[in-house]
Amino acid sequence: MDGGQIFVNVDKTAYPDGVVELDLMGAELTNTKNSPIYVESIGDEVQLVAKSGTVNTISDGTSYTNADSDCGAVYSKDDLKIKGSGSLTVNGNCQDGIVCKNDLKIYNGNITVNAVDDAVRGKDSITIGNDADTDFSTLSLTVKSTSGDGIKSTETDTTTGKGNVTINGGKLNITAYSDGIHASQLLDVNGGDITIETTCPASSSGSTGGMWGGSSGSTDTAVSAKGLKAGTTDDTTSAEITGVINVNAGNININSTDDCVHANGNILLAGGRLDLKSSDDAVHTDADLTIGNGTASTYDDIVVVVSSAYEGMEGLNITQNSGTVIVNSTDDGYNAAGGADGSGNMSPGGWGGGFGSTSGGNYSLNLKGGFALVNVTDGDHDGFDSNGALTVSGGIAITNGNEPFDCDGTKSYTGGVYVINKGSGGMGGMGGMGGSEMASTLTASCSAGSGTRITLADGSKVIASFLANKSVSTLTAGCSSNTGAKFYTGGTVSGTELIKTSNQSVYVNGTLSGGTQCN
């Protein structure tokens, strides 16, 4: 069909439970002057079905206005569900690809959406994958936006409980100029294999008009190009709406020119694995960041690997209960209420990542459990930095950095294990965390190069073992319950590897064979 339109308009008063199912069976729909599929009204929902074994394409033109004074190749003013086991490609050549002004559900099918602006836009909510399903192998969603967001919800009325994006499963591949996935109020990730890349150049991704940057596809230097984002929408209001992110499961890989994960409300990283690479912060919240919900000795409930970032974990208050976090950063690894220098490669205020001057405030960094290893570059960069209180009470914290622990408020060490490799000629020190506060301390001198295995062991029993990312001269440890602990370089560890990356190999248990004891 060339130049035609499928138009759905059901009287909701006469048919309040009405469902319209549009079965696509090898359909190719093109309209350069209107939305090829347009839903005016439906009682329940319109179901757009790509039937098994068929390939379907829906495309609009480059310039037009539909009956809602908007545009979109698939455009619905009421609830829309997309499903089926066939293939569907939607080309939004004017602006957006799929638009729904109520609830949008994408449950299965091989779906591809290409758009100039936002690829998938749902005002009230977007749900990817049916939460009642256990098998998401038939769901694949690929989206590409050349000047806007990949997937976004836009509702800013905080009384509705809407403005949400929920990912339950499936394979998602998102390439967006601006934000990858943006929920105006709530973003829940409960599963799925998710790959996100944002392509806005770092030189164009900044903040000139507030925390969240400008509109999608903006020609100024205020483009928000974050991976996962929740908070004030960027196209309907300048008022700040609090956004929350919960990551409960899934395999998430993000390469972004802005923050990988960003919210102005709380962020909870409770499950799954995140592999993050950012020109700015890996994870940033203007409120509380919580990592893990498990016990102190639970290391596998949530795994976060930051291959590169300006700062790793940043929030007003940071609490790690469990899980494993590996951070490679050019500035601080963990930063509670820091960021007075703005963000990343930008001048103060750039990318909206800074908190301003927050030294000595009511902020906190609490390491209660799990495993955290931070590699920071030489200079005035901290492994674990708090502009308020800093507490180490459990878990294992390792810093390869010049200033391992820095604190502007109260500080205490009451349990767990910390290990410091300050490097040769590094600034070192505990940033005011005095030796009198340590239940047990160990300092050893040794000479070893970058990449050497460093093991803290009690006899042959491994407490923590990792690879140094810089040359070793002095090692320091706090071991609340391992008074016989010693440092070793080299050797072999047998046991279950906690995590392995391209440049890191970590054990928290096992047996050490060989190695050289440090003095």
What is the model's pLDDT at position 219?
35
Q: Which two tokens stand for residue 97?
A: 């690809």
* DSSP 8-state secondary structure symbol assigned to residue 432: T
Q: How far apart are CA 122 and CA 135, in angstroms?
A: 24
In the predicted model, is pLDDT for residue 433 greater than 80?
A: no
pLDDT in tens, 490-512: 999 999 999 999 999 999 999 99
Helix and strand totals (H; E) in the chain: 0, 50
Q: How far apart are CA 1 and CA 420, in angstroms?
A: 67
Q: Which amino acid is at 302?
A: I
Q: What DSSP letter does each residue of 341-387 carry, written as one string? A: T-STTSSTTGGG----S-TTSS-EEEE-SSEEEEEE-SSS-EEEEES
Q: Taking the C-alpha atoms of 294, 298, 302 and 307 in order, what is their torsion angle to the nearest 10 degrees?
A: 140
Considering only the C-alpha atoms of the chain, give the largest distance between any 2 of them, rounded to a whole number of Å. 85
Least confident of 23-37, 362-376, 413-427: 413-427
Distances, alpha carbon 453 to alpha carbons 314, 374, 419, 442, 461, in Å? 28, 15, 13, 18, 15
In the predicted model, is pLDDT for residue 97 greater than 70?
A: yes
CB 406 within 8 A of CB 381: no
Q: How far apart are CA 335 and CA 386, in angstroms?
A: 6
pLDDT in tens, 257-266: 999 999 999 9
Spell out the residues 6+ positions from residue 161 whose beta carbon is closer than 8 angstroms to its own.
Answer: none
Q: How far apart are CA 204 and CA 388, in angstroms?
A: 33
Average pLDDT rounded to a whole number, residues 321-348: 73
pLDDT in tens, 157-190: 999 999 999 999 999 999 999 999 999 999 999 9
Average pLDDT rounded to a whole number, residues 84-104: 98
Q: How far apart are CA 485 and CA 162, in angstroms?
A: 53
- Better pLDDT: 43 or 202: 43
pLDDT in tens, 246-285: 999 999 999 999 999 999 999 999 999 999 999 999 999 9
User: Which residue is associated with the tokens 């069909």?
Assistant: 1
